[in-house]
Structure 1
Amino acid sequence: MKQLLLLPLCLLITVAFGQKKNGSYQLHINKTSLPVTIDGEMNEQAWADAPAADNFFMVLPMDTSHAKVKTSVRMTYDAKNIYIIAVCYLTKPAPYMVESLRRDFSFGRNDNFIFFMDPFDDRTNGFTFGANAAGAQWDGSLYSGGSADLSWDNKWVSAVKNYPDKWIFEAAIPFKTIRYKKGIKQWGINFSRLDIKEAEKSSWTPIPRQFPTASLAYTGTLVWDEAPPEAGANISVIPYVLGGISKDYDHKAPNDYRKAIGADAKIALSSSLNLDLTVNPDFSQVEVDKQVTNLDRYELFFPEKRQFFLENADLFANFGYTNIRPFFSRRIGLGVPINYGARLSGSLDKNWRIGVMDMKTKSQDEVGLPAQNFTVFALQRRLFARSNIRLMFVNKQSVNYQPGKDSTKPVYSLYNRNLGLEYNLASANNMFTGKAMVLKSFTPGKSTGDFVHAANFQYTDKKWLLLWQHEIVGKNYNAEVGYVPRSDYVKLNPQVSYNFFPNKKGKILSHGPLLSSTYFFNSKMHQTDNETYLDYKISLRNQGVFDAWVAHDYVELLKPFDPTNSGKDSLLTGSKHSWDSWGTTFTSKPQRLFTYGFTTRYGGYYANGTRLALTTDLGYRFQPFVNITLSTSFNHIDLAKPWGVTNFWLIGPRIDLTLTNTFFFTAFLQYNNQQKNVNVNTRLQWRYKPASDFYIVYTDNYYTAPFFIRNRALALKFTYWWSM
């Protein structure tokens, strides 16, 4: 019996302390004194002298052999840059497959080569760079063991050249661009290749097919002949100048002319620790959010896209769960101007990471909103092979404010604080992952029911996925700088899925079911919600995917709710609703110039109603310069009076024009009759130097019926990345 009790403990120790899976795959990188010209040609002596990483392994469609498509990679460096060249061979002469020359392209829709660097060899955080076969760049930061944030953007140069039997990617990554620890001579490294025509994804090191090639648990080792050089003085100032004009036709306001200047600064306190500063920041060039038809009872989530908040964003944004985030940076500066801010983030050594942020927003006298200060502190300690423990503190403080002093203005909170601790589990082979956390909020007048506890544990292998997750959120838990759309609940969510792999090589690569059930209870353990969901997924060898599902839903409303979110009427608190529904999803293979996908849903709805939902996504590319997409969503809701029949359309055509990999034009139209709005957004971006841009952004908003203009804006913005 004692031996049986010790077995789980031994298993936990094994998965937590396990050695690096692919540490024996080594690529030696040697310093060169010879010149390297970034032109997509492997004709320099420096490349002839560099060792090669080749003989890649197939990851998809199966991970049981070496890749059919050959790839060879070499790396070298000098005092300023890391250089890489990848020769991507073809099995037969054929045109490449890409969407466009747009930066940070969609991975699965482009022939591409991407590599992943783990400068601390901690198998948790790093950087990714690469390009598609037409030369469009890809760069991002890696967090949580292999998730990529492609909003991260920095200075580096690359070139791609096409040949009849191959294409070559060549790049120079300045040491100043990345963060690494002084003196470390072994980094994690891996290389990924996607050839859409062969429907093959490959990797230098072997990776189980259920994991992405970005998985840092499976990197090989980049062995330096000597410690990488210090980046030296690394200070960048990024000033901007903005001019614009806008007009609010709704309120018949006069033209509003904008003139603004501001700046960001990036100061490397060490090769792994960075200080970001901003004064009077402006984010007018950020792309508009993609709208959705909102039939949810709770607030929708939209991702952060503003550059200032993105470096080491995982330290701040990844604390908690999808719907329990004590910090959400979009709470700062959207609708309220930011005066200034500072962020200190990065690694103190191989085991410790730190993040500190302080932002000050302006007051708005017309609504009585005081100036506010936002402070966030995060400290992370590495444990075992790839796990960590993290502390976070979030403080929102109103400056020089007395709540209720002016009875004619809304009352705002004097302060709101959150303190949390979480443990993130990641086994050496990535098959066991999980999280456990506790949070407490501090709000004037509330001292009980303000705790959160949540945990999950997941096992993933080639065939099985087993998941348990639970969440407990107190009635008075309050995260004013976070994203917590729901409070006062207990949630239980078990999930299991299985994949079958046919023995014969046919059109179907794998297929299998997924069963998930999500229960919500109140604090007295009375059930208020449940969704039980059964899905069957078929993955085709040509990379097409088909799903069919059935679901049962039960809801007991905790507050009045309009099931159409259109303002007609609301269902009563305490009313109970249940229904059954079914649906399908299909995504076409990406090898064609014309791609398509669709989803269907039909079944019951609130108040014994019915709901039909259809979406389509169509795309056509004129390689590599033009990519046209059309997303359409239709919801038909049939309810008793006073709602009756409601039809919601959301139509979003988009055109991306990329004349070169430094000149981009995007036109995006969104017709949304639920919001009674037509939005037109166009953006021209010219990257005249690395990380330096000129933007012209034009936005129109119209009523859907009658088709009258609501507001209009034009902005011109010039930024320059000045490195000292």
Structure 2
Amino acid sequence: MHISKLIIFSLLIFNISFSQTDNHLKITRINSPVNIDGKINEQEWLNVKPVKMVMFLPTFNQAPTEQTEVRLVYDDEFLYVAANLNDQSPDKIQITSNKRDAWNLSNDIFGIMIDTFNDKENGLCFYTNPAGSRWDFTVYNDASGGFPVNISWNTFWEVESSIDENGWNVEMRIPLNSLRFNENEGKVTMGIIPWRWIARKNESSIYPAIPNKWGWWSQIKPSQAKEIVLEGVQSKNPLYIAPYISGGLSNDNDLNDAETKYVRDNNFKSDIGLDIKYGITSNLTMDLTINTDFAQVEADDQQINLTRFSLFFPEKRLFFQERAAIFDFQFGGPNRLFYSRRIGLDDEGIQVPIIGGARLIGRIGQWDLGFLDMQTSKSDSLPSENFGVLRLRRQVINDNSFVGALLTNRYGKNGDLNSAVGIDGIFRVSEDDYFSVSMAHTYETDAGNEIGTLDQMRFLTFWEKRRFDGFNYELSYSFEGENYRPGMGFSTREDYSRIGGDLGYGWIMDEKSWLQRHNVSVNYAAYQRNSDKSIETAESELEWNIIWKNGFNGSFSVQMNYEDITDTLEFSDDAEIIPGSYDFYNFSAGLESPSGELIGANTGFTIGRFYDGTQLSFGIEPRWNISADFSLGLGYEFNKLDFSKRNQDFTAHILRLRSSLSLSTSLSLSGFVQYNSAANLSITNARLRYNPAEGNDLYIVYNEDFNSKRRRELPYLPRFNNRTLLLKYTYTFVN
């Protein structure tokens, strides 16, 4: 008790008001709507003073090489954004995609991040290119961490672009109904960050002048946004009703009851369903879904697992991605208390039908709220189940400090019950220092379920300095009990304690240097078994990361590893690691070409010892943005393990081919073909999308799983496991 009081007292002592003290940016209210045509010639724009953009990359706070003028106005229903993006060489403006949501830094880009709740933590981003393509996504955790954005979020808004002899121009019309906000006495305060990217120059400019000491994501960091105030804006209660209809053919090859041959089953599938979205208040939204369908979702990337732990796959289903950050409750790495892929997918990644569900997301008073309840049907491997999640979170002490709680409940019709409750907090204790703590307790049918016992708990405490230049560091400790079972979460290990730390130093170079920034760091982590206090894993690494001003990125690292395994680790029928203790080391390097180039590649390799053998892993991802209509991407991974002393080896290849054909901003065709030699499997996913307006979608989807070595089993495997051709149409009615 004394320790907890001391922590709270220390946080209060270090509490500093980190909010911006600058005056709000004054936004003009207009009385007549702006015609959105990509030509900024209306008087409403000419009467507005543009904001002053400054260079972010390659050298911060320099004058941009091209002039950019950004203006904002609003009325009762919309926020309007206009940008004059001058270019002295308009013939060199780059357009490499017409496709909706085809985020690609080889395009010239303009966009704006809006912190609609002004919570200094979350934001909505609206971006476009000279073709008028729409890209929208969310940012969370104040743009901190590995990839703090959700690129699959979509909402209703309009944009038009045009190119002339002076450069290109953008007009955006964003419905206030799409933003969700806090209204206080007729006033709404938001934060904004306009952003421009010139691909061929690897140059970006922003407003306000945000330093790049937090790395690339500084450019959309909500805590650094410029505040604006909208007056006389009233909350609306929009209603979106989106029914869908789908149908198609499927061929499945299943082993017969006698297990003597595979029998093809041909089926015609048809389905209907409904999604409803209702804005209860200006900052609270409810979603209802009936017979939820994910026919248009892209296949998971194939992976080669060289560890003894389960692979983590990211969520790709749009329903679970939308505003997913509110449910975020992490314990480091992929470990988390809530993992949405537990709903509607079994452990093999096979879809389980979802009968329906409800979601409530937004803010009530000072509390951020997330509620989710979903019901699934019975499948071959799982009973019919109900999944419930409740998340509460609020600011404390200062703009970037939060406390919260998460509750999950998974109940099967067979009587199995798994529940979890967690509390967490993140506290900004100085300008760049953050202290985090997370704790969870699980309850399960037939378990002891003794409240407060460490056996069913997980705990993490974490201190970090969030900045790139100068000294930066991380220190963490985590614990997981023997009977901790998050039925709706993800955990790689069981019954262990971990201590880890990183210490680094970074340099941001001046305008005379050919480097933009680089840093050196030393990283260490040790995992201890709780049962006997023995070391299970120890990892240490010396790493150097470099970013050049021309856009190249490089990394070099030396890793030293210790592993003590108690069970045989199998990679194939011909290669395994026997139980024992192993010390080994390896070297890794990677290089990424400038993202703004039309042709480029990312590549990397690892070479060195691997347990009692050797490892050579190599990967390359070339890309070719042929035109605004067509792009091509290739991925190849090679893994070679050699255990010559035991006359064993393992070789695996993964090949990925992605292509995208954009016939217009509303019609696109994408293809994704993968080959995994370890699984002897080829997977094809092709999608035709027609999207004439937001919420109006027609998909034609083709999927196939193809066996590459049919004679490896008896009876011989079929040429394909399953093949599906589906059509899905969704139309959204807006009230």
> TM-score w.r.t. structure 2 length?
0.90
The Cα offsets for residues 686-711 of structure 1, whole Å up to 9 and x where unpaired, read as 10221210000001111122493232
Map of 1:526 onto structure 2: 534
2:72 equivalent to 1:75: yes
Separation in 1, partners of 2:399, 2:509: 35
Paired AA for residue 609 in structure 1 = G
Deviation of 1:483 (Å) = 0.9
Q: Using a 3 Å threshold, how does the CA distance of structure 1 residues 435 and 699 change in structure 2: closer, same or farther?
A: same
Separation in 1, partners of 2:472, 2:96: 32
Name whichever of 291-300 and 88-97 sits farther off.
Answer: 88-97
Q: Using a 3 Å threshold, how does the CA distance of structure 1 residues 610 and 171 change in structure 2: closer, same or farther?
A: same
Separation in 2, partners of 1:58, 1:642: 58
Separation in 2, partners of 1:559, 1:625: 52
Q: Using a 3 Å threshold, how does the CA distance of structure 1 residues 434 and 139 change in structure 2: closer, same or farther?
A: farther
The Cα offsets for residues 40-93 of structure 1, whole Å up to 9 and x where unpaired, read as 10011221233321x212222232434333221111122221111111122443
8 Å CA contact 1:18–1:428 kept in 2: the answer is no
8 Å CA contact 1:531–1:553 kept in 2: the answer is yes
2:347 equivalent to 1:341: no
8 Å CA contact 2:202–2:594 kept in 1: the answer is no
Separation in 1, partners of 2:362, 2:720: 46
Separation in 1, partners of 2:556, 2:691: 44
Deviation of 1:167 (Å) = 1.2
Name whichever of 692-701 and 378-387 sits farther off.
Answer: 378-387
Separation in 2, partners of 1:587, 1:177: 36
**What fraction of aligned residue pairs are identical, expressed as a percent?**
26
Q: Using a 3 Å threshold, how does the CA distance of structure 1 residues 8 and 451 change in structure 2: closer, same or farther?
A: closer
Separation in 2, partners of 1:689, 1:428: 46
**One of 415, 418, 431 as aligned partner of 2:417:** 415
The Cα offsets for residues 115-170 of structure 1, whole Å up to 9 and x where unpaired, read as 11112211012311111233221112232123321211111111111123221111
**One of 394, 415, 425 as aligned partner of 2:427:** 425
Separation in 1, partners of 2:666, 2:23: 36
Map of 2:375 onto structure 1: 360
2:584 equivalent to 1:579: yes
Map of 1:382 onto structure 2: 395
Name whichever of 335-344 and 309-318 sits farther off.
Answer: 309-318
Separation in 1, partners of 2:92, 2:537: 52
Separation in 1, partners of 2:61, 2:556: 28
**One of 582, 589, 593 as aligned partner of 2:594:** 589
Separation in 1, partners of 2:369, 2:734: 24
The Cα offsets for residues 17-55 of structure 1, whole Å up to 9 and x where unpaired, read as 32323x4163222221223111110011221233321x2
Paired AA for residue 670 in structure 2 = T
Map of 1:195 onto structure 2: 198
8 Å CA contact 2:408–2:420 kept in 1: the answer is yes
Structure 2 counterparts to residues 86-165 of structure 1, below 5 A: 86-106=83-103, 108-146=105-143, 147-165=148-166
Q: Using a 3 Å threshold, how does the CA distance of structure 1 residues 681 and 273 change in structure 2: closer, same or farther?
A: same
Map of 2:50 onto structure 1: 52
Map of 1:411 onto structure 2: none
Map of 1:488 onto structure 2: 495
Separation in 2, partners of 1:503, 1:26: 31
Q: Using a 3 Å threshold, how does the CA distance of structure 1 residues 697 and 298 change in structure 2: closer, same or farther?
A: same
Paired AA for residue 236 in structure 1 = Y
Unmatched 5+ residue regions in structure 1?
Answer: 1-6, 403-413
Separation in 1, partners of 2:323, 2:631: 31
Deviation of 1:194 (Å) = 1.4
* Superposition RMSD in Å: 2.2
Separation in 2, partners of 1:428, 1:697: 51
Structure 2 counterparts to residues 200-599 of structure 1, below 5 A: 200-211=203-214, 212=217, 213-224=219-230, 226-231=231-236, 233-250=237-254, 251-334=262-345, 335-349=351-365, 351-364=366-379, 366-367=380-381, 369-383=382-396, 384-399=398-413, 401-402=414-415, 414-426=416-428, 429=431, 431-447=432-448, 448=453, 449-461=455-467, 462-501=469-508, 505-523=512-530, 524-562=532-570, 564=571, 566-568=572-574, 570-573=576-579, 575-599=580-604
8 Å CA contact 2:695–2:731 kept in 1: the answer is yes
Paired AA for residue 390 in structure 1 = G
The Cα offsets for residues 335-383 of structure 1, whole Å up to 9 and x where unpaired, read as 211111001111113x21111111111123x55x321111111111211
Paired AA for residue 512 in structure 2 = K
Q: Using a 3 Å threshold, how does the CA distance of structure 1 residues 24 and 428 change in structure 2: closer, same or farther?
A: farther
Paired AA for residue 301 in structure 1 = F
Deviation of 1:193 (Å) = 1.4
Paired AA for residue 540 in structure 1 = W
Map of 2:651 onto structure 1: 647
The Cα offsets for residues 518-560 of structure 1, whole Å up to 9 and x where unpaired, read as 1111114321101111111221110101112111111111433
8 Å CA contact 2:114–2:125 kept in 1: the answer is yes
8 Å CA contact 2:557–2:588 kept in 1: the answer is yes
8 Å CA contact 2:242–2:695 kept in 1: the answer is no
The Cα offsets for residues 557-576 of structure 1, whole Å up to 9 and x where unpaired, read as 143311x2x24464344x11
Separation in 2, partners of 1:241, 1:665: 20
Deviation of 1:318 (Å) = 3.8
Separation in 1, partners of 2:9, 2:310: 43
Name whichever of 10-19 and 648-657 sits farther off.
Answer: 10-19
Separation in 2, partners of 1:14, 1:108: 43
Deviation of 1:257 (Å) = 1.5
Separation in 1, partners of 2:560, 2:130: 45
Deviation of 1:502 (Å) = 5.1
Deviation of 1:485 (Å) = 2.0
Separation in 1, partners of 2:334, 2:33: 51
Separation in 1, partners of 2:511, 2:335: 45
Separation in 1, partners of 2:169, 2:479: 52
8 Å CA contact 1:265–1:276 kept in 2: the answer is yes
2:695 equivalent to 1:691: yes
Paired AA for residue 472 in structure 1 = F
Separation in 1, partners of 2:362, 2:599: 43
Which secondary structure does the structure 2 equivalent of 1:145 belong to?
Answer: helix
The Cα offsets for residues 581-600 of structure 1, whole Å up to 9 and x where unpaired, read as 11210011234321112101
Unmatched 5+ residue regions in structure 2?
Answer: 1-5, 255-261, 346-350, 711-717
Q: Using a 3 Å threshold, how does the CA distance of structure 1 residues 617 and 705 change in structure 2: closer, same or farther?
A: same
Separation in 2, partners of 1:442, 1:10: 33
Separation in 1, partners of 2:29, 2:362: 26
Q: Using a 3 Å threshold, how does the CA distance of structure 1 residues 308 and 504 change in structure 2: closer, same or farther?
A: closer
Which secondary structure does the structure 2 equivalent of 1:217 belong to?
Answer: helix
8 Å CA contact 1:111–1:196 kept in 2: the answer is yes
Q: Using a 3 Å threshold, how does the CA distance of structure 1 residues 354 and 131 change in structure 2: closer, same or farther?
A: same
Map of 2:714 onto structure 1: none
Which secondary structure does the structure 2 equivalent of 1:669 belong to?
Answer: strand
> TM-score w.r.t. structure 1 length?
0.92
8 Å CA contact 1:113–1:192 kept in 2: the answer is yes
Separation in 2, partners of 1:125, 1:470: 27
The Cα offsets for residues 588-613 of structure 1, whole Å up to 9 and x where unpaired, read as 1234321112101111112x111111
8 Å CA contact 1:392–1:419 kept in 2: the answer is yes
Name whichever of 95-104 and 492-501 sits farther off.
Answer: 95-104
